[in-house]
Amino acid sequence: MILGVGTDLANIDRIKGVLERHGDRFRNRVFTDLEQTKAEQRKDVAGTYAKRWAAKEACSKALGTGLRMGISWKDMAVSNLATGQPVMQVTGWAAERLTAMTPAGHTATIHLSLTDDHPWAQAFVVIEANPIA
């Protein structure tokens, strides 16, 4: 069953400007060390950060909270499988919220899709509950 759906659209040029104005202050407030390492290794640094920004926004919407109720930017983190597929991990309050919204006898899976076409970066999150076998 679907527990939550969220989407977000981020402007890559806006994120690039924030990175230029606020640098590490912005990076360290919003992105985990792993996310920063991944972004800084990419050709399109701003685009990578913009997709991850959008993913965090989309995840918070799918959790039904938006960025309020104690959720932290770093409570939601994007990484990639060896295949390149993006995945979302949640910790802290985001993990608590996910547990609270998952029915008894089920386990939650967060599905994440990212895309970009300059100047836009988009993320789509679906949270699914599956019965425990």
The pLDDT score that the predictor gives to residue 70 is 67
Q: At what angle do helices 45-62 and 33-41 cross, to 10 degrees?
A: 140
Q: What is the pLDDT of residues 24-83, one digit of tens each?
A: 999 999 999 999 999 999 999 999 999 999 999 999 999 998 766 667 899 999 999 999
Amino acid at 112: L
The pLDDT score that the predictor gives to residue 133 is 83
The pLDDT score that the predictor gives to residue 69 is 66
The pLDDT score that the predictor gives to residue 50 is 98
The rounded distance, in Å, linking the Cα atoms of 123 and 119 is 14
Q: What is the pLDDT of residues 97-132, one digit of tens each?
A: 999 999 999 999 999 999 999 999 999 999 999 999
Residue ranges and CATH numbers for the domains of the chain are: 2-131 (3.90.470.20)
State which H helix or E strand residue 107 sits in.
strand 106-117
Are the C-beta atoms of 71 and 93 separated by less than 8 Å?
yes
